[in-house]
């Protein structure tokens, strides 16, 4: 009995140690997540592969309709300018048969019909317009310049354009059409010989005294030459006009003593 009582303290210490070992934390002491056992949280990996969870939709082909359909449209022109009054035939080259619609963005400069024929209007100065051709939702554009022209007088070997030209009975007047830089025009068959020339005057009898003595030709540099009759009355004004289709320009003159 005395031996048993002697060992009771040791037995109590062992029992306490056993109790502590069996009632500790659920997570083994000194163990880190991932080294075995359960962890506090789990990592969601379901969104890491977008191609599996959210497969991409079909590609946007709106901007590639012309490619996907195989249809193409291209504008062609013999040149990118014309003189006022001139016509210019444009061509729409399509990959397949289609109805082409035409439009000019500035009809004051030029108009275009539904066959692609462009007509340049009367212009005070060089100006441009955009021609648009559309078919099957596809469009192509072309910039065309309307080159203005006017009537100029030959003076001292130079072409000038004074507002009023002073003449005398018996004088000779040499005129032609020139571009915006006062240069005679002989371009793509367009020159003074293309125009219709007329003399206008309030006094009908005076107009008869102003006669064309030399028609324009390549040999004379496309000059239109007029002679004022020696017995023409003075203090009279007249004009000479050049017309080409819907375009026109004129020069004003006065007969002085």
Q: Which helix (H) or strand (E) holds 35?
A: none
Instruction: Show the domains of the chain with their CATH numbers.
Output: 70-147 (2.60.40.1080), 150-255 (2.60.40.10)
pLDDT value at residue 139: 96
Per-10-residue mean pLDDT of the chain, 257 residues long, equals 45 42 40 39 34 33 41 95 97 95 97 97 96 96 97 94 92 96 92 94 83 89 94 93 96 95
Q: What is the pTM of this model?
A: 0.69
Q: Identify the burial level of 230 via C-beta atoms within 10 angstroms of its C-beta, where 0-12 means exposed, 13-18 middle and 19 or more buried.
A: exposed
pLDDT value at residue 109: 97
Among 214, 212, 207, which residue's Cα sits nearest to residue 236? 207
d(CA 226, CA 170): 10
Q: Give the CA distances from residue 61 to residues 17, 68, 72, 97, 206, in Å, rounded to whole numbers and listed in that order.
A: 76, 8, 16, 23, 73
69 token code pair? 């359909």
pLDDT value at residue 110: 98
pLDDT value at residue 202: 85
């Amino acid at each position: 009995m005395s031996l048993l009582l002697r060992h009771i303290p040791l037995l109590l210490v062992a029992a306490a140690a056993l109790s502590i070992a069996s009632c500790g934390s659920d997570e083994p002491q000194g163990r880190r997540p991932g080294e075995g056992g359960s962890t506090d949280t789990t990592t969601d990996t379901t969104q890491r592969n977008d191609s599996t969870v959210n497969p991409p939709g079909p590609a946007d082909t709106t901007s590639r309709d012309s490619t996907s359909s195989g249809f193409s449209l291209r504008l062609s022109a013999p040149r990118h300018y014309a003189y006022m009054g001139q016509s210019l035939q444009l061509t729409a080259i399509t990959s397949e048969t289609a109805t082409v619609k035409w439009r000019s963005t500035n009809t004051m400069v030029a108009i275009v019909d539904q066959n692609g024929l462009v007509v340049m209007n009367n212009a005070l100065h060089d100006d441009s317009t955009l021609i648009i051709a559309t078919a099957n939702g596809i469009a192509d554009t072309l910039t065309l310049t309307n080159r203005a022209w006017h009537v100029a007088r030959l003076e001292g070997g130079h072409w000038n354009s004074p507002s009023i030209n002073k003449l005398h009975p018996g004088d000779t007047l040499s005129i032609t059409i020139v571009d915006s830089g006062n240069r005679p025009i002989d371009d793509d068959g367009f020159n003074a010989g293309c125009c219709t020339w007329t003399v206008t005057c309030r006094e009908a009898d005076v107009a008869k005294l102003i006669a064309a003595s030399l028609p324009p030709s390549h040999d004379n540099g496309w000059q239109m030459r007029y002679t004022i009759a020696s017995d023409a009355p003075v203090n009279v004004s007249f004009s000479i006009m050049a017309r080409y289709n819907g375009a026109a320009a004129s020069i004003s003159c006065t007969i002085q003593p």
